[in-house]
Amino acid sequence: MKRAPVFCLCVALLLALAAAQLILPDREVSPLENRVLSQAPKVSADAVLSGDWGEALERYTADQLPLRDSFVSLYTLMEGAAGRRLSGGVLLGADDRLFDRSDGWSERNVRQNAAALTELGEQAQKKVWLLCVPSAVAVYPEALPALAPVADEEALLRAAGEETALIGLLPLLQSRKEGEALYYRTDHHWTAAGADFGYEAICGALGISPREAGTADVVPGFYGSFYARYPLPWLSADELTYQFPAGLRLLADGTERALVDETALAGRDKYAALLSGNHARLELLNPDGPEGELLVIKDSYANALLPLLARHYRRIVAVDARYFAGDIVEEAKAFDGEDIVCVYGMSTLATGRTIALLEGL
């Protein structure tokens, strides 16, 4: 065997990987993938005979592969070097900006969700507004790869506007994109600057005068959800920006929480720090607010925006339709105010019937 170098090297490589897997402690979670990894499956006669054990063992071996993240990076690097602009459902555009592949987004979903909002307003006898946050695709189309498979978001917005009272935002974002970055490059969310324009648009609709933007806090080292889906090693990190006024209290599902979660802020996916992540129902309390109460139906895009709005209201109740199990009509009737604002990313409105499926509608 001394004269079989190819065999010896490859066998050594495979055995070294196997040995490393046996010796090294198993990881519980993968920060890159943001999920819990498979652990060693338990042996039982049933599981072995049915093949379940074999499958579980394969999942476990794959999840706990030594240098797993490096192998993933290596393959991603090869994809990038081969000129791939689409991986993991994410498009790589000019200036290393990542976008959602959105050609599967459906106008039907947008219409049903928007119509459900109108229905809610009628049932609760309140005024309903929809602020639909377009994706970066609609704001920076020039950075997209040619012929990229993306949705026509202007058409989707028009459809939403036919079903409910839509707050115009896209033209504002398009006209102001030359200055500060409005969206992150590695994440689908918007920056403090982007959220500030959303805030202005809402103020315009509700007839309140917007306050001056203060200085935003900046946290470097932010690798967002797009990066997790197409982790090209040469992409640089974003800086998380947020502008949260002092003096606010946050109640998330009834418990007092920090407005900015320090643990999440220290991790990779830093946007999750804002309003301590996603909760079914939260309240923002501001004793100095000049206006009364506001009901917000929202997804995570609102997490960067709500504190700005909270400067005006004594109490904002925000419901995340994806997790909220209560009766939304009751909630809408109960709060002490006239306006309901819905803040949603186009991705949520167009990929599911989140609002239309709410209890009570």
Residues near other proteins, by CB under 8 A:
1-7, 9-11, 13-15, 17, 32-35, 48-51, 54, 59, 62-63, 65, 68, 71-72, 74-76, 78, 82-86, 88, 145-149, 188, 225, 228-229, 269, 271-272, 278, 299-300, 322, 345, 347-348, 351
Closest contact distance (angstroms) between CB of 25 and other proteins is 19
Q: What is the 3-state secondary structure (H, E, C) of 36-91?
A: ECCCCCCCCHHHHHHCHHHHHHHHHHHHCCCCHHHHHHHHHHHHHHCCCCEECCEE
Taken as a whole, the chain contains a residue count of 361
Pick between residue 1 and residue 23 the one whose CB is nearest to other proteins.
Answer: 1
Closest contact distance (angstroms) between CB of 357 and other proteins is 14
CA Rg value for the chain: 24
Pick between residue 72 and residue 356 the one whose CB is nearest to other proteins.
Answer: 72
Pick between residue 276 and residue 286 the one whose CB is nearest to other proteins.
Answer: 276
Pick between residue 35 and residue 158 the one whose CB is nearest to other proteins.
Answer: 35
Residue type, 260: V
Closest contact distance (angstroms) between CB of 145 and other proteins is 7
Pick between residue 208 and residue 280 the one whose CB is nearest to other proteins.
Answer: 280
As a whole number of angstroms, the distance between CA 106 and CA 351 comes to 6
How far is CA 287 from each of CA 31, 126, 303, 311, rounded to the nearest angstrom?
38, 24, 20, 10
Closest contact distance (angstroms) between CB of 49 and other proteins is 5
**249: exposed, middle or buried (Cβ count in 10 Å: 0-12, 13-18, 19+):** middle
Asked if 349 and 160 count as a contact pair (C-beta separation under 8 A), the reply is: yes
Closest contact distance (angstroms) between CB of 347 and other proteins is 6
Closest contact distance (angstroms) between CB of 282 and other proteins is 16
Pick between residue 14 and residue 334 the one whose CB is nearest to other proteins.
Answer: 14
- Strand order through the sheet with 86-87: 86-87, 90-92, 98-100
